[in-house]
């Protein structure tokens, strides 16, 4: 039987005489056979390509799925080991936002004193995820396992509470940032409201119910002009969507306390700063831009008044968080049913010593040994407030909270960490 090549290109064409009709019919069949063969080859190649692309898509999708998946015997073992309590009277704590700024420091402090800790974080890209992954590596080196997952994943939360009878939940997961809410408002509703409800649903259904301590914000004071801010002040005038979601969180947590007997403590943080901080915070971005020789924006309020913040060092915030966990009291519900009243508390955690933003920049200049290129601009209507100032008398009396780190000392520690983490030597990045 002649090959396809021989059919298309005869090697020894000779002189031969055939009937015209027979010749035309033969040529038709030969052409049809050749076309059919090419068509079949084309179909085969298309099918092969489609199969490859389909398989590649499956592999890519599968890789993403399994990379972010949870479950399995090894995974459960890691959760159990990380949650083990190693001190008398200790607690087992689920820390949401575990690879975040505050979450990392709280988790380390709990682990160091012998408590069981399991972190939960979705490692989103609001800021460079590599920083969160570096925090996770730090936590893992101290025996803290961080589960990669979302607080809106009810199946994941149910599984975690099924594996571990957490005594406490430290809820720090949230979409942070005041200005970013104007770009991506849905992320705030997803994390700060829907995520909070998902977590509270898991907590109220757990048996036993854990006590819940969670991060509200000083932003809830909004347009309040009475200073210093006290927990009893009005908080019904939020200046940003972020603040509104945190205020909504306070109302939602009160509802779950009232209906289901969950012990709940809300903490209104005042401008937390320090090592391993968030790159979107002013002190962090100022440091980066000063070292890179880039200008920094310094906002001013009405009548060119300098903005002021009650900057609170991370170690002081951690003390307040641990004090809140230690004094939280017990939830009184079981299986979603309330058995009696449970504690509901709100505390300010601040430093009580507001400092203007230009003063903060001057301190950074001194430690970085570099002058900042200052660009003074009027504060836009993007949700920021002109000042914050915490009254911490309630936290002092109820939690024994007493901040001890002033801004100069705290920024010195931050700059030392920043230069080390980002590889700077004498003000220049190390290659």
Closest CA to 354 of 234, 189, 228, 220: 228
CA dihedral 240, 241, 246, 247 (to 10 degrees): 80
How wide is the angle at C-alpha 301 spanned by C-alphas 300 and 304, nearest 5°? Answer: 65
Closest CA to 341 of 353, 358, 354, 329: 329
Residue environment code for 389-404, b if the CB has 16+ CB neighbours within 10 A, otherwise e:
bbbbebbbeebebebe
Closest CA to 196 of 272, 240, 129, 257: 257
Give me the active site residues, please.
242
3-state secondary structure of 171: strand
Q: Residues 272, 314: contact at Cβ < 8 Å?
A: yes
Q: Residues 118, 143: contact at Cβ < 8 Å?
A: no
Bond into 208 cis (ω within 30) = yes
d(CA 42, CA 36): 10
Task: List all residues 6 or more positions away from 133 whose beta carbon is below 8 Å from its beta carbon.
Answer: 99, 123
| β-strands 312-313, 272-273 pairing | parallel
d(CA 119, CA 82): 9
Longest CA span, the chain: 116
Burial group, residue 52, by CB count within 10 angstroms (0-12, 13-18, 19+): exposed
d(CA 123, CA 144): 16
d(CA 265, CA 93): 14
- Computed on alpha carbons and rounded to an integer, the radius of gyration of the chain in Å comes to 31
3-state secondary structure of 337: strand
């Amino acid at each position: 039987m002649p090959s396809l090549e021989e059919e298309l290109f005869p090697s020894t064409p000779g002189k031969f005489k055939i009937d015209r009709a027979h010749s035309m019919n033969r040529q038709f069949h030969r052409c049809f056979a050749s076309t059919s063969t090419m068509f079949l080859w084309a179909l085969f190649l298309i099918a092969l390509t489609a199969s490859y692309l389909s398989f590649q898509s499956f592999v890519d999708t599968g890789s993403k799925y399994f990379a972010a998946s949870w479950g399995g015997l090894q995974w459960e073992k890691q959760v159990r080991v990380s949650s083990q309590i190693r001190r008398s009277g200790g607690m087992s704590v689920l820390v949401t936002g575990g690879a975040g700024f505050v979450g990392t420091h709280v988790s380390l402090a709990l682990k160091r004193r012998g408590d069981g800790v399991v972190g939960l974080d979705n490692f989103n890209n609001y800021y460079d995820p590599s920083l969160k992954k570096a925090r996770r590596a730090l936590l893992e080196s101290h025996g803290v396992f961080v589960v990669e997952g979302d607080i809106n994943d009810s199946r994941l939360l149910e599984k975690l509470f099924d594996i571990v009878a957490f005594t406490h939940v430290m809820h720090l997961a949230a979409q942070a940032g005041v200005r970013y809410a104007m770009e991506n408002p849905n992320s705030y509703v997803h994390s700060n409201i829907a995520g909070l409800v998902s977590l509270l649903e898991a907590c109220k259904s757990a048996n036993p119910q854990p006590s819940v301590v969670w991060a509200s914000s000083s932003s809830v004071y909004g347009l309040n002009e009475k200073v210093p801010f006290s927990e009893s002040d009005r908080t019904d005038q939020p200046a940003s969507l972020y603040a509104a979601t945190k205020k909504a969180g306070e109302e939602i947590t009160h509802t779950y306390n009232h209906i289901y007997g969950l012990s709940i403590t809300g903490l209104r943080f005042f401008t937390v700063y320090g090592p391993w901080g968030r790159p979107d915070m002013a002190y962090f971005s100022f440091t980066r831009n000063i070292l890179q020789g880039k200008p920094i924006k310094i906002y001013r309020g009405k009548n060119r008044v300098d903005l002021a913040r009650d900057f609170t060092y991370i170690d002081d915030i951690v003390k307040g968080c641990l004090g809140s966990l230690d004094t939280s009291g017990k939830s009184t519900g079981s299986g979603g049913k309330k058995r009696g009243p449970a504690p509901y508390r709100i505390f300010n955690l601040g430093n009580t010593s507001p400092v203007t933003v230009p003063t903060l920049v001057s301190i950074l200049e001194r430690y970085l040994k570099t002058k900042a290129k200052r660009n003074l601009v009027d504060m836009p209507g993007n949700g920021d407030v002109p000042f914050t100032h915490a009254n911490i008398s309630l936290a002092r009396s109820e939690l024994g909270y007493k901040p001890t780190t002033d801004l100069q000392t705290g920024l010195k520690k931050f700059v030392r960490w920043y230069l080390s983490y980002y590889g700077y030597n004498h003000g220049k990045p190390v290659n």
